Structure 1
Amino acid sequence: MKKFIQALLFTLLLVPNFIQAQTQEAGEVGAMWSYPVVYKYDEQVTWYFDLSSTTFAAESDIYLWMWSPSEPDAGNWENSSEFAKLNYEGNLIWSMTLTPTLYFNKTPAEIAASAGFWFRLKNKTGTLQSGVAQVAYTDFSTFYTANELIRSYPTAPTLDKGISILFNSNLQPGFEGATSVHLHSGLNNWDIKQEYQAWLPEIVEKTKFKNLGNGFYKMDLIPKEYYNAPDGYVMNNLVFLIVKDEWASTTPDQVLNAGEYIPPPPPEFRFFPLQLSKKDFLGIIRKNNEPGVNKLLYTITANDVVLTGEFMGGTAEIKGFVNLVTPLKDVQNLTSIHVLVKDNNDNVISDTTIPLKTVD
């Protein structure tokens, strides 16, 4: 009996360590995108993950754990391999560069027949993980039979995001037997140009379309980088024509109107209720938080009493309530409280004094 009790006590002592070692949820992965925007399964691509609404810390080591189309890092949940490590891009965005056929050791047909790219993001030891997510794949194979000269992904590009331009040279007279195809283009009706200059090798390479075979071509670019647009530049359109070899033939002029940039709404912060007494709960709420802001920390000073705490949330909303009733019940002659609120980046959100109404 004594040995049984000792064993039981030993087991109970281990429970906190066991619980601590369990995986914690970091939250759902935010926006995801790829560059190139569209790509073949045997083409190198970079996936981007916005983790600003999670509890993953900036610059932390994060790893990709995938199980579809295959499980490249199988058996290593508690010690992820270096090949699965993401690259930190800044602003709580991480990336992974890979060639799907090589990374998953699958043929294009096998990947196409799979359930898609399903994954979690995690720390190295597996004690912190994101929710289950899927990298979306855009199948552009319909372009091969669509009888379209030009197709772009997206149809309305933006300055700082990628665009893929597809070209079917079979539909353009004069492009038969082309050895190379190039982009002659500009932003905002040629306000900023990237001309095709066939006598400059570096420009020839920069403007060259990728040959997809059978007369089909693809160009991938990010307008701000490709045209070296200055900060604050507003993109209205992308104008271009496509050139065969050394200007042997061209397409008609083309134009892609830019997508409207919609800035995020400004943050909204407030206390509630509007009239407060020491017998109330103080509500604190902040909406439309900046990327990376997922916590509010408060310090409330009421004469000699100091209350501290924090609320967790995400970019959409962080909200919580502070119980004033119990800690302030014995504080006499209290007419106001001072409230300091900071975010998890140590930025001051509010530093104010709130008057208290008198209650019986």
Structure 2
Amino acid sequence: MKKIIYTILLAILMSNLVQSQEAAGSIGSMSSYPVVYKYDEQVTWYFDLSATTFAPTEDVYIWIWSPSEPDAGNWEHSSDFAKLTYVKDGVWSFTLTPTVYFSKTPEEIAASAGFWFRLKNYDGSKQSEVANMAYTDFSSFYTANELIRSYPEKPTIDKAVSILFNSNLKEGFEGVPSVHFHSGLNDWAVLQEYQAWLPDVSEKTKLKDLGNGFYRMDLIPQEYYNTEPGFVMENITFLMVAKDWTTNSGDQIIYAGEFIPPPPPSFGFFPLQISQKDFLGMSRKNNESGVNKLIYTITAGSKVITGEFGGNTAEIKGFVNLVSELDGIQGLTEIHVLVKDNKDKTISDTTMPLKILDK
């Protein structure tokens, strides 16, 4: 408890130190691959920064102070080893082996307050809110007398899943060179078989040996099975198979979680009728991951007006002051408005009539 309180107090102190700098916003969803891992294993952390002001072209660094502070003293010039990698759609990643990165034993990391950090630019002039990367302790599986356990319990097609296997509960696995994942989706409708005679398939389907007869399989279903867009996963059916099919676990099944697609994006102008003496508003809600700007080009006769609005996945909204922009221009009956997002996708390309005001 004392360590947790100390960590929170340190975060508050750091907030005071950097309060004059640019706040990039809060980190969105965070995840790891594999989903569950030991502290002495390599893991990749993922951070959704699509709702922050970090741009895909920026260099982003992690500044972490718990369980230890590997980049201590370098707030104004982050070290290269603390640099994140841009993945796509506003998501960055950071790969580490916790025991190596923090110079701590697994026991010391487990006893710490956890992984507390900020994400920042190189010189620290921009930083995220304080965040904590959650860790899932799966050690109870070793004594649970369960054959199979899935993290999460009900996986979805586009997110990582870790499947644990206790081979001690099945005869014939003791001393086998390797264990493989012979599997399919939706009652074997989509297959990824274990084909022992094909080296690349044998490697792809191989489970990680955790020692003492325990194994783990890590995958993202839509990537692992190469499913078509729109495929709905209902279950993962599988066997855990010893090398060369000398024995197997028997049929197993993991039911998928309900996949709830996000609501479609919606865009609109307001008010619906405008004159050149109005403010033109535009709003887009339910934006795709990584979309955080609307970039507009308004053509009014010979005049071209450009600009952009920032926002997040929930909504991007802004106004254009036509009163000042079109002041003194006579005879306008319409304007052309082109709106794109920060990925250069056209959101709206329309001509809007202008209401003629009485003189």
- TM bin, normalised by shorter chain, reads 0.7 to 0.9
Contact 2:91 / 2:290 at 8 angstroms: preserved in 1? no
1:354 aligns with 2:353: yes
Range moving further from structure 2, 258-267 or 229-238: 229-238
| 1:43 partner amino acid | E
**For residues 293 and 198 of structure 2, what CA distance do their matches in structure 1 show?**
53
Q: Matches of residues 219-258 of structure 1 in structure 2 within 5 Å?
A: 219-229=217-227, 233-258=231-256
| 1:265 partner amino acid | P
**For residues 196 and 299 of structure 1, what CA distance do their matches in structure 2 show?**
54
Range moving further from structure 2, 91-100 or 276-285: 276-285
Range moving further from structure 2, 274-283 or 164-173: 274-283
Structure 1 counterpart of 2:78, from 77, 80, 85 = 80
Aligned to 1:50: 48
| Count of residue pairs the alignment pairs up | 339
Structure 1 counterpart of 2:113, from 107, 115, 120 = 115
Which runs of 5 or more residues in structure 2 are unaligned?
1-19
**For residues 296 and 230 of structure 1, what CA distance do their matches in structure 2 show?**
30
Aligned to 1:7: none
**For residues 341 and 246 of structure 1, what CA distance do their matches in structure 2 show?**
58
Deviations 1:148-202 (A, max 9, x none): 2111112223334322111122333444555543322222322333333445555
**For residues 296 and 111 of structure 1, what CA distance do their matches in structure 2 show?**
43
**For residues 329 and 340 of structure 2, what CA distance do their matches in structure 1 show?**
25
Structure 1 counterpart of 2:191, from 190, 193, 199 = 193
Structure 1 counterpart of 2:291, from 277, 286, 293 = 293
Aligned to 2:32: 34
| Structure 1 residue 108 displacement after superposition | 1.1
Structure 1 counterpart of 2:341, from 335, 340, 343 = 343
Cα gap change, 1:349 to 1:223, in 2 (>3 Å): closer
Q: Matches of residues 91-102 of structure 1 in structure 2 within 5 Å?
A: 91-102=89-100
**For residues 203 and 293 of structure 1, what CA distance do their matches in structure 2 show?**
37
Question: Which of structure 1's runs of 4+ aligned residues deviate more than 6 A?
Answer: none
TM-score (normalizing by structure 1) = 0.82
Contact 1:209 / 1:219 at 8 angstroms: preserved in 2? yes
What is the root-mean-square deviation in Å for CA atoms of aligned residues?
2.8
Aligned to 1:144: 142
| 1:28 partner amino acid | S
**For residues 299 and 354 of structure 2, what CA distance do their matches in structure 1 show?**
12
| Structure 1 residue 225 displacement after superposition | 3.9
**For residues 319 and 193 of structure 2, what CA distance do their matches in structure 1 show?**
59
SS at match of 1:270: strand
Q: Matches of residues 277-356 of structure 1 in structure 2 within 5 Å?
A: 277-302=275-300, 307-326=305-324, 334-350=332-348, 351-356=350-355
| 2:215 partner amino acid | Y
Range moving further from structure 2, 38-47 or 350-359: 350-359
| Structure 1 residue 313 displacement after superposition | 0.9
Q: Return the index of the structure with the highest Cα Rg.
A: 1
| Structure 1 residue 245 displacement after superposition | 4.8
Structure 1 counterpart of 2:272, from 265, 274, 278 = 274
| 1:213 partner amino acid | G
Cα gap change, 1:327 to 1:252, in 2 (>3 Å): closer
| Structure 1 residue 305 displacement after superposition | 6.1
Q: Matches of residues 157-196 of structure 1 in structure 2 within 5 Å?
A: 157-176=155-174, 178-196=176-194
